[in-house]
């Protein structure tokens, strides 16, 4: 089966945008499915513009989500999140894509995959890439999904309804590894060209490597434009992640990660709270954030702080003794306010010790999500 057209819905979730498709409408063979999806988004395109498809020619908008009724008893729907490379058409199914989970909850209700419970509908989503369960709490009024609202998030110019996401046991230690790969909240590692580097490394479903901004010769307050001019940032970041991958058996960045479906760690550099100007032109004061953070994911600088990275930061801030915990101005049980290039975001994490090991009980974050259009997309 390789249809020339199929039903599709274009949705925004958080600071991401994606084409949502039903698994039932796609070819069963993964290679045929991926080729069709790439074509629908306008890839491969040597110019990278995706002019002949629905892709947005930008990593945050060249996305696809495949949704189906869940095969698990504890979930309502299964969702697979893919990032389509504009130039090559390759699809990375390993990414966290926490932002789009909010949209997946809305999509499930709009498409009748879960009943619209009056008030708040809880949609239990199995995230195929991270192998984790996330619950989306979607507002419902008069039997209809509430998509309009006043909830605003930095990096998005318009408001929408607020979708609360609950990441349940987001570091389950399955194929993605334990919460603390080394067993320690802090590590020191020899990195080629950088010497011995102090860091905190998280594994699990949302892996991340944390270093102080000063380690990379940065203040942590740099804008995206300033970071793009930092010629030493990319090679240093690559060297850091490769050293961590070798030492702690985490996925290394690159094509193999996408093929294996295992999430590669984000690189996050943090600093104490300080004032700066966001990419939207607003002033972020030191008093309204608990730390500043900048990050790369799959080698790309992040203009905001994606939900997957937010989860990792919140967990690291809640774990006593981590580099992030020592820098952040966070109180137990209170969401961590993260200053990122586009503004600020608040994320809460509950952690505890079980049988002598740290365990994450739940991470809570809110995103906006809404349907942009629905109809048929043509290959």
Kindly report the three-state secondary structure assignment for every residue of 145-171: ECCCCCECCCCCCCCECEEEEEEECCC
pLDDT at 252 over 70: no
At 230, the pLDDT band (50, 70, 90 cuts) reads very high
| CATH number for region 187-362 | 3.10.310.10
The CATH T-level fold of domain 5-169+368-378 is: Diaminopimelate Epimerase; Chain A, domain 1 (3.10.310)
The beta strand positions in 50-101, using DSSP E, are: 63-69, 77-84, 91-92
Please list, in sequence order, all residues whose beta carbon lies within 8 angstroms of the beta carbon of residue 250, skipping any fewer than 6 positions away.
177, 181, 201, 203, 207, 244, 264, 265
State the maximum Cα–Cα separation within the chain, in Å, rounded to a whole number.
Answer: 61
State residue 215 phi and psi, 5-degree precision.
-60, -30
For the chain, helix, strand, coil in percent to 5 are 20, 35, 40
The pLDDT value recorded for residue 255 is 40
At 258, the pLDDT band (50, 70, 90 cuts) reads very low
Pairing mode of beta strands 336-340, 291-297: parallel
pLDDT digits (tens, 9 = 90+) for 289-310: 999 999 998 888 998 888 889 9
**Calpha distance 69→75 (Å, rounded):** 9
- Three-state secondary-structure class, residue 311: helix
pLDDT digits (tens, 9 = 90+) for 326-368: 999 877 778 999 999 999 999 999 988 888 888 888 899 999 9
pLDDT digits (tens, 9 = 90+) for 134-151: 999 999 999 999 999 888
Mean per-residue pLDDT over the chain, rounded: 90
What is the dihedral angle through the alpha carbons of 13, 154, 160, 135, rounded to the nearest 10 degrees?
A: 50
Centroid of chain to Cα 263: 10
- Who has greater pLDDT, 130 or 165? 165
Q: 237-252 as b/e, with b when 16 or more CB fall inside 10 Å?
A: bbebbebbbeebebbb
pLDDT at 171 over 70: no
pLDDT at 172 over 70: no
Instruction: Return the domain boundaries, the chain.
Output: 5-169+368-378, 187-362
DSSP tag of 260: H
List helix spans (H) across 125-267. Answer: 224-228, 233-248, 255-260
**Calpha distance 296→252 (Å, rounded):** 13
The pLDDT value recorded for residue 324 is 96
**Calpha distance 231→100 (Å, rounded):** 31
pLDDT at 74 over 90: yes
pLDDT digits (tens, 9 = 90+) for 187-215: 999 999 999 999 999 987 778 999 999 99
């Amino acid at each position: 089966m390789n249809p020339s057209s199929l039903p599709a819905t274009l949705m925004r979730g958080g600071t991401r945008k994606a084409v949502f498709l039903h698994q039932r409408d796609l070819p069963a063979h993964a290679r045929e499915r991926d080729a069709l999806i790439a074509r629908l988004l306008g890839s491969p395109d040597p110019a990278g513009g995706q002019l002949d498809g629905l892709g947005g020619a930008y990593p945050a908008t060249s996305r696809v989500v495949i949704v189906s009724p869940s095969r698990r008893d504890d979930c309502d729907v299964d969702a697979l999140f893919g990032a389509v490379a504009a130039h090559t058409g390759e699809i990375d199914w390993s990414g966290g894509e926490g932002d789009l989970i909010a949209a997946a909850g809305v999509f499930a209700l709009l498409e009748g995959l879960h009943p619209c419970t009056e008030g708040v509908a809880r949609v239990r989503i199995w995230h195929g890439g991270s192998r984790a369960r996330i619950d989306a709490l979607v507002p419902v009024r008069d039997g209809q999904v509430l998509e309009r609202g006043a909830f605003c998030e930095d990096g998005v110019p318009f408001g929408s309804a607020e979708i609360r996401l609950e990441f349940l046991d987001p570091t389950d230690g399955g194929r993605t590894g334990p919460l603390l790969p080394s067993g320690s909240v802090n590590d020191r590692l020899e990195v080629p060209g950088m010497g011995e580097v102090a860091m905190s490394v998280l594994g699990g479903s949302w892996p991340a490597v944390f270093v102080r901004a000063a380690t990379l010769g940065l203040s942590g307050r740099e804008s995206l434009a300033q970071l793009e001019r930092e010629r030493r940032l990319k090679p240093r970041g690559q060297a850091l992640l490769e050293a961590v991958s070798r030492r702690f058996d985490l996925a290394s960045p690159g094509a193999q990660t996408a093929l294996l479906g295992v999430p590669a760690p984000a690189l996050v550099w943090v600093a104490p709270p300080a004032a700066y100007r966001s990419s939207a032109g607003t002033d972020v004061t030191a008093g309204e954030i608990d730390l500043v953070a900048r990050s790369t994911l799959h080698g790309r600088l992040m203009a905001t702080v994606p939900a997957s990275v937010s989860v990792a930061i919140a967990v690291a801030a809640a774990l006593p003794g981590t580099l992030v915990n020592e820098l952040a101005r966070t109180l137990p049980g209170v969401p961590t306010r993260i200053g990122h290039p586009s503004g600020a975001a608040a994320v809460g994490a509950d952690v505890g010790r079980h049988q002598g090991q740290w365990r994450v009980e739940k991470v809570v974050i809110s995103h906006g999500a809404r349907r942009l259009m629905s109809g048929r997309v043509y290959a």
